[in-house]
Structure formats: structure tokens, C-alpha cells
Amino acid sequence: MQLHRHLLKRVKKTALLTVASAIAALAPAAAHAAYPEQPIKMIVAYGAGGGTDVIARVIARYIEKHLGNDAKIVVHNRAGAGGGIGFTELANAPPDGYTIGFINTPNVLTIPIERKSNFSWQKYDLLGNVVDDPGNFSVHADSPIKTLADLVAYARANPEKVTVGTTGIGSDDHLAMLMFQRASGVKMTHVPFKGAAEVHQGIASKQITVAAMNIGEALQYAKGGTPLRNLGQMSKARTTLAPGLATFKEQGFDIVLASLRGLAAPKGLPPAIREQLVKAVERAINDPQFQAQAASYFAPLRYLPPAQYEAELRDAESGFQQLWKELPWSEK
């Protein structure tokens, strides 16, 4: 009888140890589920102060809010090669949820068409598009050029002396310049910069004749005190951002071009983490406080969930492949 009690105690003790071991084994899994456990890097492929950088720093705070778990996002600027440096770093990062970043059209689509690249839009897990900013030409307020017709006349009178600043070869700004040259028959000189902030500095200091920059960015710089005159927006119809500014089409130039700025991560995120990020991005964009801040920076929001964002990129890529055949934009 005493032996029986002793054996019963040993069995109970063994069972308790087994349960304790099982709980201990589950603890790391439970801790791992509390994503994010460390700061998240957000890559911006352009310099500080540009349109992408500004909206990245604003939306980062709201993604943190909607991720929860004391999430911390740190913006890293990786400017150069028309965005190629930052896009490559994002594509090659570990797909663990601790590196996300902005991808910008058309650059993320046009660079791989133009030259061999270590990235393509298919190498990302798409998290959602944030901004859709139409193109625009701006001149310094002191410039005698007041309309696109004036620009054409000035360029004809000064062949190749009209300098156009853009965010790089193959950017929407560069393509807009090429399309405008083809439509008008004039010849201008391309001046590529690392980002919109540098283009802004170029036009503010009168180092360039024309700044090819998105309308939202131009309005933001004008609000900041830069004396700019916008010549036209490259949207199908006048935007609510600039209802008084005529489109290129209204002025006789059928050019429609914009920059999508969306969030992505390296391909292969764990499904649960991907779902968390997608939901946090959607909630951030729909957050009334974020929308108010974005409006104050003249950022035209256009949320596209991953599936719609993918369809948009696929269609745009096809269009740019055709454009490459008709109007190669490489300057090599």
C-alpha cells in the first residue's frame, strides 16, 4: 500500500513536469506572436524633404499606432540611381517584417525595363498604395513663362537651353519631359537629381528653367515660401488640390502621368505578419487624423489594397514596356 502511494506520487510529479515543460515550450511562440519585437526600418528611396519622405514620416506614426505592441518605425533615406538603390535594398532585405518601404511609380517599373536591375515589383509583398500625385511643370515666379504655350515658344527661341530638373532617368518627371518634347516638337536639356528636394532647390535658386515635379510637392513647396508658378497638371481632370490649374490636355498636350507611392516589403513575409502590416497600413490611411495631416502637406491620397495595387502595377508596367519601344528614355 505504501509502495502504491509512492508510485502514485511519482506519476503525479512526472505529469506536472510534463505540463510545465509544455508551457515553457509554448512561451517563446507566444512571445514571438507579439510582433513587432524590435524597430521596423522604413526605406525611402529618395532624399529627405521630398514628397515621399514627408508622407513616409507622417504615416509611420499611424502605422505604429495601428500595429500596437509599442511598434517603432524608423525612416531610412536611401537616395540615388533614380530610386534604384532604395528599391534594391528593400527587395534584398530579410522578409521578416522588420523592413518595409515605399516603392514609387514609374521608377520601380521603368528602371528594370531600361537596364538590368536587382529588383522588380514582383519581388515585393505589396502592403497597399498610399498616394497618387499627378505630374506638373513648375517655373520660378520670376520667369517670363506663364503657360505651356509660353514654354514652347521660349524653348523654340532658345534650343536646348531650357533645363528641366527631374528625380532621375526613367522617373515620371523625366518621361513627362520626353512626352512634352515629342508633343511640342521642342528640345530641352535634362538635369537629373536624386530626389524632389534637390529639384526644389534647383528651381528655387534658378539653376534650372523648369522643375518637373508632382503637383502635391509643388503646392507644398509654395506653401513653404518658394515662389513657384505651376504650368499645368498631368491628370485626366483638374484635381481638388489645384482646381484652378489647367491640365496639360486642356492646354493642347495629351499627357496624363502620375506617381503612385505605395508601401511594400521583401517577398516572402510570414502570412500572419503580412496580414498585420496590411491591416495597419489600411487603418493608418483611413485614420481621420492622418488624412488631415496628409491634406496639410498636399498629399493626394489614393488607397489601393494589395490585390488592386498589384493590378495597377501590372497594367502600368505593360504600358511602360510599350512606351520604351516608342520613346526610349535611357540617356546612356
- Domain containing 278 — which CATH number? 3.40.190.150
Q: Are residues 103 and 245 in the same domain?
A: no
pLDDT at 194: 86
The residue from 251, 279, 306 where one domain ends is 251
The model's pLDDT over 319-328, given as tens digits with 9 standing for 90+, comes to 999 999 998 9
Is pLDDT above 70 for 31? no
Q: Are residues 210 and 277 in the same domain?
A: no
Q: Using CA atoms, how far apart are residues 253 and 151, in angstroms rounded to an integer? A: 12
The model's pLDDT over 73-132, given as tens digits with 9 standing for 90+, comes to 999 999 998 899 999 999 999 999 999 999 999 999 999 999 999 999 999 999 999 999
Q: Are residues 63 and 109 in the same domain?
A: yes
All 3 cell numbers of residue 150? 509660353
Q: Are residues 183 and 207 in the same domain?
A: yes
Instruction: Answer yes or no: is 31 within a domain.
Output: no
Instruction: Answer yes or no: is 57 within a domain.
Output: yes
Q: Are residues 188 and 278 in the same domain?
A: no
End-to-end CA distance of the chain: 94
pLDDT at 9: 53
Instruction: Answer yes or no: is 20 within a domain.
Output: no
Does residue 187 contact residue 155 with C-beta atoms inside 8 Å?
Answer: yes
Instruction: Answer yes or no: is 27 within a domain.
Output: no
Is pLDDT above 80 for 18? no
Query: Please, what sign has the CA dihedral across residues 318, 54, 147, 329?
Result: negative
The model's pLDDT over 212-255, given as tens digits with 9 standing for 90+, comes to 999 999 999 999 999 999 999 999 999 989 999 999 999 999 99
Residues 6+ apart with CB under 8 A from 142: 206, 227
Q: Are residues 46 and 194 in the same domain?
A: no
Q: Are residues 243 and 287 in the same domain?
A: no
Q: Are residues 214 and 311 in the same domain?
A: no
Instruction: Answer yes or no: is 84 within a domain.
Output: yes
CATH code of the domain containing 199? 3.40.190.10
* % of the chain residues with pLDDT over 70: 90
Q: What is the DSSP letter of 39?
A: P
The model's pLDDT over 123-179, given as tens digits with 9 standing for 90+, comes to 999 999 999 999 999 999 999 999 999 999 999 999 889 999 999 899 999 999 999
Is pLDDT above 60 for 16? no
Q: What average pLDDT score do residues 258-285 get?
A: 97
Q: Are residues 211 and 294 in the same domain?
A: no
All 3 cell numbers of residue 185? 516638337
Rounded to the nearest 10 degrees, the angle between the axes of helix 271-286 and helix 288-296 is 60
In total, how many domains does the chain have?
A: 2
pLDDT at 63: 98
Q: Are residues 141 and 207 in the same domain?
A: yes
The residue from 203, 218, 251 where one domain ends is 251
pLDDT at 7: 43
Instruction: Answer yes or no: is 144 within a domain.
Output: yes
Q: What is the CA radius of gyration of the chain?
A: 25
Q: Are residues 140 and 205 in the same domain?
A: yes
pLDDT at 291: 97
Q: Using CA atoms, how far apart are residues 87 and 32, in angstroms rounded to an integer? A: 28
pLDDT at 33: 58
Is pLDDT above 80 for 20? no
Strands 210-212 and 163-166: parallel
pLDDT at 29: 43
Q: Using CA atoms, how far apart are residues 198 and 178, in angstroms rounded to an integer? A: 20
The residue from 202, 224, 251 where one domain ends is 251
Q: Are residues 56 and 115 in the same domain?
A: yes
Instruction: Answer yes or no: is 111 within a domain.
Output: yes
The model's pLDDT over 41-68, given as tens digits with 9 standing for 90+, comes to 999 999 998 889 999 999 999 999 999 9
Q: What is the DSSP letter of 250?
A: G
pLDDT at 5: 53
pLDDT at 17: 46
Instruction: Answer yes or no: is 10 within a domain.
Output: no
Q: Which residue has the higher pLDDT, 284 or 28?
A: 284
Domain extent for 275: 40-133+258-326
Q: What is the residue-wise DSSP string for 57-97?
A: HHHHHHHHHHH-TT--EEEEE---GGGHHHHHHHHHS-SSS
